[in-house]
Amino acid sequence: MSFHSFSIVIPAKNEADNLSGLLPELRQLYPNVEIIVVSDGSSDATENICVQNKVDIIKHQYSKGNGASIKTGARAASGEIIVFMDGDGQHKPSDVKRLLEKMDEGFDMVVGARGNESQASTGRLLANNIYNKLSSWISGHDIHDLTSGFRAVKREKFLKFLYLLPNGFSYPTTSTMAFFRAGYSITYIGIETAERLGKSHINLLKDGVRFFIIIFKIGTLYSPLKIFLPISFGFFCVGLLYYLYTFINFHTFTNMSAVLFMTSILIFLIGLVSEQVTMLIYKDSED
């Protein structure tokens, strides 16, 4: 193995109990590696735990969100590769080595993909399967785990997309789709996650809706015509069927048919323009 220099970035909000077990193990496995914990407005003993384990800590004066913590940590990291881990203790420190081994094969991003047995609940399992299928359709690539927060990336390439990342919990979704759109190489390794201590900061219903919104937002950035073309075609089919109905029964072409046809054309043209805008967004992402 010939790992490049790497940094470990851990976003955390009131995760002192979990960090007290995670950080000593990380420090034992990787004694000389830069470990950065971004405390997102924590009010517990997170800072003390970091000091005790000799890891760097960056404090947000108030909670800005998981994505904001990721951006802060990415800017501060000095390694060529950044390994992102959740601060809830679910990710195994020993799996960091497996991510890096895969990165050493020449990939730009390696994602730790959770199996069905590692999902927190049946609801999350179902939701993640839907996210994976939708994003795979949008991107044209097989996405094994869209929302996994355990991943290794090339820092230089990751920083190019910071402006796209939301401040909430959807940074894995956005970064994965952005890397695919830019033509970077992504692969997956299977991982098992442990049960977290304490209560999760993710609200399944609220953040589930946000994930869907993010998927479609990234869809319009990744391949807009895959979003706009089916909608345009739908309006066209409704307009055509309505026209046939009115023509057969009343021998007329109604204003409603005209509106539906015009809407179909406008949506298609918006998709074409969006496709050109997308190309401009990613034109500077090439090496």
- Which pLDDT does position 61 carry in this prediction? 93
What percentage of residues in the chain have a pLDDT greater than 90?
55
Task: Please report whether residue 286 resides in a domain.
Answer: no
Among 172, 188, 221, the domain-final residue is 221
- Which pLDDT does position 163 carry in this prediction? 87
Residues 132 and 264 in one domain: no
Residue 2's SS3 state is coil
Residues 216 and 229 in one domain: no
Where do we find the tokens 């809407």? Answer: 263
> What pLDDT, in 10s, does the model give residues 212-230?
676 676 677 677 888 899 9
Among 221, 245, 262, the domain-final residue is 221
Residues 277 and 166 in one domain: no
- pLDDT for residue 203 is more than 70: no
**Lowest pLDDT segment from 13-27, 189-203, 235-249:** 189-203
Residues 106 and 233 in one domain: no
Q: Which domain holds residue 259?
A: 224-281
Is-contact 160 74, C-beta < 8 A? no
- Which pLDDT does position 80 carry in this prediction? 95
Residues 33 and 173 in one domain: yes
Residues 244 and 190 in one domain: no
Residues 182 and 272 in one domain: no
Total tally of structural domains belonging to the chain: 2
- Which pLDDT does position 168 carry in this prediction? 76
- pLDDT for residue 189 is more than 80: yes
Is-contact 213 187, C-beta < 8 A? no
Among 191, 206, 221, the domain-final residue is 221
Instruction: Report in angstroms the alpha-carbon separations of 122 from 95, 140, 219, 250, 265.
Output: 25, 26, 26, 53, 41
Residues 147 and 228 in one domain: no
Task: Please report whether residue 275 resides in a domain.
Answer: yes
CATH code of 215's domain? 3.90.550.10
- pLDDT for residue 108 is more than 90: yes
Task: Please report whether residue 73 resides in a domain.
Answer: yes
Task: Please report whether residue 92 resides in a domain.
Answer: yes
pTM value > 0.75: yes
Task: Please report whether residue 199 resides in a domain.
Answer: yes
- Which pLDDT does position 185 carry in this prediction? 95
Task: Please report whether residue 1 resides in a domain.
Answer: no
Task: Please report whether residue 231 resides in a domain.
Answer: yes
Residues 255 and 131 in one domain: no
Name the pLDDT band for 207 (thresholds 50, 70, 90).
Answer: low
Name the pLDDT band for 139 (thresholds 50, 70, 90).
Answer: confident
As a dihedral over the C-alpha atoms of residue 237, residue 240, residue 241, residue 244, rounded to 10 degrees, the angle is: -170
Residue 89 CA to residue 49 CA, distance in Å, equals: 14
Residues 248 and 142 in one domain: no
Residue 228 CA to residue 282 CA, distance in Å, equals: 20
Residues 88 and 175 in one domain: yes
- pLDDT for residue 159 is more than 60: yes
Residues 205 and 268 in one domain: no
